[in-house]
Amino acid sequence: MSTFQAPKGTYDLIPPSSATYLAVREAIAAPLRNSGYGYIETPGFENVELFARGVGESTDIVTKEMYAFETKGGDKLALRPEGTASTLRAALEANLHKGGNLPVKLWYSGSYYRYERPQKGRYRHFSQVGAEAIGVEDPALDAELIILANHSYRSLGLSDFRILLNSLGDKECRPVYRAALQDFLRGLELDEETRRRIEINPLRVLDDKRESVQEQLIGAPMLRDYLCEACKTYHEQVRELLTAAGVAFEDDPKLVRGLDYYTRTTFEFVHDGLGSQSAVGGGGRYDGLSEMIGGPALPSVGWALGVDRTVLALEAEGITLDLPAATSVYAVPLGEEARRVLFGKVTELRLAGVATDFAYGGKGLKNAMKSANRSGARLALVAGERDLAEGLVQLKDLQSGEQTAVALDAVVDEVRRALA
């Protein structure tokens, strides 16, 4: 123990479990890389105004959860609470949308920060892998993203999750619905804060988790009944494409994202083994966001999947990923001369692409062999003065215990053969 601990609401990723975390990130990213998405990395902080506008002044993220601060130079910044606004900002800044090659498809992976009440699955520092497809309105693009997220989760072996799907309408039909919903909500028994929300962000009230609110919402007007023909057709096409791809989903007419620039397709991946922090990922269309941050009209769609909660989902389903051992060969020198020679072999093996480690610190044979076993290596390379005098090292299979003498200059080849 040192004097210090990780800050409240954070945790450290440490071996060996950190390997699972990395593998989850990789599993989410792999289908994106394979589908035309290019990697983007943006700063961990941005101008606070980007999030105020790009995430929304009335959202919990901006009003309660953002780490905002002023620098010594007087800049007003915030640690990024999510990735979409930054990604779009960067794409616009680099004029990616002007290459005549829309959609611009981007993926990212990184740390996000929200000042939340910490609990299992809800942290102040967490990780997301996200994807955004910018500049095109095409139901196949919405479907693609949902299919890719589904693919990621399946490739990890997850099955106890559901995809919730809804359409939020567009700037034609949503305002009509919004007004009807406000009329309905104004007639309910609600606290001060929720009343304010009715005026700024009424759709978000539908998402209120409290029982006392939910029971009053029975009979509330549903967006589904207000969708214009264009939105209905669009949504039907997304649904058909998902069905054709064999991706099961549930229509959830209450699934909302409150802000006006979220349009049409919206979806969430929920895992049934996670208790109240059940959303493992979410996303949707945000046709109005670009204009909101000063760009041209660029209809776009994206998602972000939570890496922390995906790892918890694996635990909930009792899935252990089949990860390759970090080390294949462990070298154990006995004596100074052996140390010098084997260290050279270790470097040679590593250059040849074999994951190799070395017994540092002048350990005795017994301790060194313990470390070799603990490393997960399949093979140990053991050499003492007598072997070396004959130009040999001992190659030991750590599972069978079988040991063979190998000529020093044949080590790389012999190791490769033994590992094949």
Choice from 54, 103, 139, 306 touching ligand ATP (CB under 6 A): 306
Interface with ligand ATP includes 282 (CB under 6 A)? yes
Ramachandran assignment for 74, one of left (phi > 0), alpha (psi -120 to 50 degrees), beta (any other): left
Q: Which of 126, 177, 234, 330 binds ligand ATP (CB under 6 A)?
A: 126
Q: Interface with ligand ATP by CB under 6 A: which range of 114-122, 152-160, 215-223, 228-236? A: 114-122
Which residues in 128-157 contact ligand ATP (CB under 6 A)?
Answer: 128
Which of 104, 298, 304, 359 lies at the binding interface for ligand ATP (CB under 6 A)? 304
**In angstroms, what is the minimal distance from the CB of 199 to ligand ATP?**
22
Shortest Å, Cβ 170 to ligand ATP: 21
Distance CA 302, CA 288 (A): 13
For ligand ATP, which residue of 24, 77, 82, 358 counts as binding (CB under 6 A)? 82
For residue 279, state whether it binds ligand ATP (rule: CB under 6 A): yes
H/E/C letters for each residue in the chain? CCCCCCCCCCCCCCCCCHHHHHHHHHHHHHHHHCCCCEECCCCCEEEHHHHHHHCCCCCHHHHCCCCEEECCCCCEEEECCCCHHHHHHHHHHCCHHHCCCCCEEEEEEEEEECCCCCECCECCEEEEEEEEEECCCCHHHHHHHHHHHHHHHHHCCCCCEEEEEEECCCCCCHHHHHHHHHHHHHCCCCCHHHHHHHHHCHHHHCCCCCHHHHHHHCCCCCHHHHCCHHHHHHHHHHHHHHHHCCCCCEECCCCCCCCCCCEEEEEEEEECCCCCCCEEEEEEECCCHHHHCCCCCCCEEEEEEEHHHHHHHHHHCCCCCCCCCCCCEEEEECCHHHHHHHHHHHHHHHHCCCCEEECCCCCCHHHHHHHHHHCCCCEEEEECHHHHHCCEEEEEECCCCCEEEEEHHHHHHHHHHHHC
CB of 221 to ligand ATP, least distance (A): 23
Examine residue 258 and tell whether it contacts ligand ATP (CB under 6 A): no
Please select the residue that binds ligand ATP; options are 133, 242, 280, 338, rule is CB under 6 A: 280
Looking at beta carbons only, is 26 or 116 nearer to ligand ATP? Answer: 116
Q: Residue 378 is encoded by which pair of tokens?
A: 């399949």
From candidates 19, 53, 58, 116, binder to ligand ATP by CB under 6 A: 116
Closer Cβ to ligand ATP, 258 or 333, answer by number? 258
Per CB under 6 A, the list member of 21, 30, 122, 378 interacting with ligand ATP is 122
The only residue of 80, 114, 204, 345 in contact with ligand ATP, by rule CB under 6 A: 114
- Does 309 participate in binding ligand ATP (rule CB under 6 A)? yes
The distance of closest approach from Cβ of residue 55 to ligand ATP in the complex, given in angstroms and rounded to an integer, is 9
Reference 266, options 277, 279, 175; nearest CA is 279
Among 277, 316, 363, 376, binds ligand ATP (CB under 6 A): 277
**Site residue total, ligand ATP (CB under 6 A):** 17
Closest to ligand ATP by CB, 118 or 376: 118
Query: In angstroms, what is the minimal distance from the CB of 123 to ligand ATP?
Result: 4
- Between 286 and 330, CB nearer to ligand ATP: 286
Give the residue nearest to ligand ATP (CB). Answer: 306
Footprint on this chain of ligand ATP (rule: CB under 6 A): 82, 114, 116, 121-123, 126, 128, 277, 279-282, 304, 306, 308-309
